[in-house]
Structure 1
């Protein structure tokens, strides 16, 4: 069949409908950031007598953290495959429901095994979210805005981290909440917010691009026509038409063998790029965030219950990176921005290590250095998710995101802590300098790989960046189904400012 639906989606100007997509799909990362931060900050309180939970601090920071990471990795791979096969909407509703239920059950944990089990299931749900959400966002957001929107959404994790840092301060205050209640309320709040997002998501449609290749072109046409009506009513203009068309041969599914041959054979240079970006950012973040509390307390005598304030400042710096730099990924371009953010963050961390080694930093100035590093690193790390989402064919998109996310999460969540916990926990300046230097070196290496291999995907349709496996040459495909493509999308819209 021949269709103009992808081009019609890409030619849309930014509208209130697109904000609905951002809110419905993107805000879950705020929840993820909130929950991960809260767990780390209240670990000591959970291990105290009277918390209502018989668990040790080591079980929380060690076993529970490892189970969460394992759940996220397995969830990404499991749900990612199902997302490509059964659709974006069905899976992003299911994965959020899993996350919601697991978080709510964590709040009523009475035994250590219960807490550990539902930390695993929480990770299992959030891992599936990464695959389902990023693929849906990139297929629904116009090419003109895709980079900045994706970066800001992935960077919103740090808004949740700010909230989690401040919320944990309240939860730890026994003058406000009993010891066995405060931590439960933080998890319960996460479940309530997830329920609100789930209700909003009901209004987010299935990806028309996914529907097209699975033989459901009439549904795709109905969805896109409805979107166009909403946008025209919102903007008060008549959308232009386009003659850009895509010919595809519809299929029910793509085998694992085809996915592997596509990602690691046909696009092996892009696979190297994805691998490098995820590994680089995973180790840089672990070099800083994993031991930040220990560094502040051991070297600068910052009280344990005050480190949350410092982490909140770092999290703000993380969020402002994608927020302020995201637009440049669509204008200056992917290759320049990805490589420069990786290289700058790595070089700044080398500089921080040098200053730390000379003993000229205090708790405040070290935090300021971390903010500068992570301002660029956060934009780079968010672009890693954008990159693997857009540089592989649509039929493999969710699975590609899942694979590289699982790879990066496993590297950062397993080998990272094993390495950096020993280095930052010794209390020796030289060991902490080495930890910073390892993270910086891997980030710089990833930046050099991006300079050589990054794909110029800015403002280009997804189908142009990576040709769908179902695409066929013009003239060899059957005619489009009746009613499909009667209104085509015009050329890319003029710049309308930041969404």
Structure 2
């Protein structure tokens, strides 16, 4: 007799999965939109408030402090109270926080609101990816998670369009007000998103888990599985509560170290590059509208990056795909830092974006596969939280290096080195998890 986990893993890919992907993916896109808006607002704030380079770096870093705390706390809480509750609560927090940024009256108030936004954003991502992983069929799990992560590109694209069209005409506040609208989505999300059946089993809610999986089986037109036996129910609830320190016990130590290095390097490169990108382009001599246009096209290039990663991750595996994308991002970051013309900025910027965001999709696929159900959200949350330390450091490091336009190649040489370290880490410490069943 198949267990709840086996029943979920063996389901054919169908309407239920695509609907869940669309619903969770929309929340993911809102997350990206609220994150992206600040990078486009910063050049305006520099001019309007006379912000120093250090203050600009602090705005980016404080939001990431919130993301680190939110990821660690949100991931841990989701293993106790459920994925759905934390997903909805964090979406509400970051949406309202983004709207409040539009009401900021000075630098200090903006810092406070950016912390709230970061807290909500950081808490949502590990929970969303855990929920989607636990419902994806085993043979398609990598593809589904990378496609979920691809929603980030569409959210960032929305932020680019909003900023490109509205900020020059209506001021920077309008972008933040629009970023508050996802708060309305929480009512629909709460009604239609199911709780994780694996989570319910681990909490001893056997009847609910069985009924939930049975409803999915009926929708997909497959034979309904049997109700869990008392033995299966006892086995599902036998695990002791998982504590954070267990991530460093021998069973998980290598996995945790590998993931924390990966997360640190990828987050460092992403936030260091993309939060600063419009400002870097302005410093290189391009006007603000032109810099928005560059970033818009680089954002579009993320989409085929995700789809390429989705096509490869279940075929050649997590390790090979991740190493390929990180190496590609390292090379293109170096070339972008030395670009001498608009055409070169477009070419290498788009390729850098292609590889960087493809690597993100693989990272979100890989991380939840390394931990069991009772620890999954905690493991993802703490890896993401540690990664945010890289995001906190990156804007400050860039600000320290960036004393003039001639320092831009040095900045991107640094990103190249960080990405090479990440690729080597994956090849040396990473375990292959392609098509392994979640437990």
1:129 Cα shift?
Answer: 0.1
Q: Contact 1:7–1:244 at 8 Å: present in 2 too?
A: no
- Name the CA shift for 1:297/1:66 in 2 (closer, same or farther; >3 Å): closer
1:191 Cα shift?
Answer: 2.3
Map of 2:193 onto structure 1: 204
Map of 1:395 onto structure 2: 374
User: What does residue range 63-462 of structure 1 map to in structure 2 within 5 Å?
Assistant: 63-110=58-105, 112-174=107-169, 177=170, 179=171, 183-196=172-185, 198-232=187-221, 238-239=222-223, 247=232, 248-251=235-238, 254-256=241-243, 259-286=244-271, 288-299=273-284, 301-353=285-337, 356=338, 361-412=340-391, 414-428=392-406, 431-462=407-438
Does 1:39 pair with 2:38? yes
- Name the CA shift for 1:220/1:403 in 2 (closer, same or farther; >3 Å): same
Q: Deviations over 1:50-80 (max 9, x none)?
A: xxxxx55349734432321111111111221
Q: Contact 1:25–1:201 at 8 Å: present in 2 too?
A: no
Q: Deviations over 1:189-215 (max 9, x none)?
A: 222234225413421111110111111
1:305 Cα shift?
Answer: 2.7
Paired with 1:173 and 1:351, the residues of 2 have a C-alpha distance of: 30
Does 1:5 pair with 2:14? no
Paired with 1:101 and 1:119, the residues of 2 have a C-alpha distance of: 11
Paired with 2:261 and 2:228, the residues of 1 have a C-alpha distance of: 35
Paired with 2:313 and 2:421, the residues of 1 have a C-alpha distance of: 20
Q: Contact 1:130–1:401 at 8 Å: present in 2 too?
A: no
1:3 Cα shift?
Answer: 6.2
Q: Contact 1:9–1:141 at 8 Å: present in 2 too?
A: yes
1:251 Cα shift?
Answer: 5.0
1:172 Cα shift?
Answer: 2.2
Q: Which of these two proteins has the greater Rg computed from alpha carbons?
A: 1
Determine helix, strand or coil for the equivalent of 1:206. Answer: coil
Paired with 1:118 and 1:226, the residues of 2 have a C-alpha distance of: 41
1:337 Cα shift?
Answer: 0.9
Q: Contact 2:326–2:355 at 8 Å: present in 1 too?
A: yes
Paired with 1:340 and 1:379, the residues of 2 have a C-alpha distance of: 10
- Name the CA shift for 1:406/1:217 in 2 (closer, same or farther; >3 Å): same
1:166 Cα shift?
Answer: 1.8
RMSD of equivalent CA atoms: 2.7
1:229 Cα shift?
Answer: 1.0
1:348 Cα shift?
Answer: 3.3
Q: Contact 2:326–2:419 at 8 Å: present in 1 too?
A: yes
- Name the CA shift for 1:173/1:291 in 2 (closer, same or farther; >3 Å): closer
Paired with 2:64 and 2:429, the residues of 1 have a C-alpha distance of: 29
TM-score, structure 2 as length reference: 0.90
1:427 Cα shift?
Answer: 1.9
Map of 1:25 onto structure 2: 24
- Name the CA shift for 1:363/1:421 in 2 (closer, same or farther; >3 Å): farther
Aligned residues between the structures: 435
- Name the CA shift for 1:286/1:35 in 2 (closer, same or farther; >3 Å): closer
Listed as ranges, the gaps of 5+ residues in structure 1 are 50-54, 233-237, 464-499
1:90 Cα shift?
Answer: 1.6
Q: Could you tell which deviates more after superposition, 393-402 or 34-43?
A: 34-43
Paired with 1:20 and 1:302, the residues of 2 have a C-alpha distance of: 42
Q: Contact 1:264–1:271 at 8 Å: present in 2 too?
A: no
Determine helix, strand or coil for the equivalent of 1:462. Answer: coil
Paired with 1:44 and 1:361, the residues of 2 have a C-alpha distance of: 22
Q: Contact 1:43–1:60 at 8 Å: present in 2 too?
A: no
Q: Contact 2:58–2:396 at 8 Å: present in 1 too?
A: no
1:29 Cα shift?
Answer: 2.5
Paired with 1:61 and 1:298, the residues of 2 have a C-alpha distance of: 14
- Name the CA shift for 1:249/1:303 in 2 (closer, same or farther; >3 Å): closer
TM-score, structure 1 as length reference: 0.80
Q: Could you tell which deviates more after superposition, 28-37 or 87-96?
A: 28-37
- Name the CA shift for 1:443/1:46 in 2 (closer, same or farther; >3 Å): closer
Paired with 1:63 and 1:292, the residues of 2 have a C-alpha distance of: 16
Paired with 1:118 and 1:81, the residues of 2 have a C-alpha distance of: 23
Higher helix fraction (1 or 2): 2
1:442 Cα shift?
Answer: 2.0
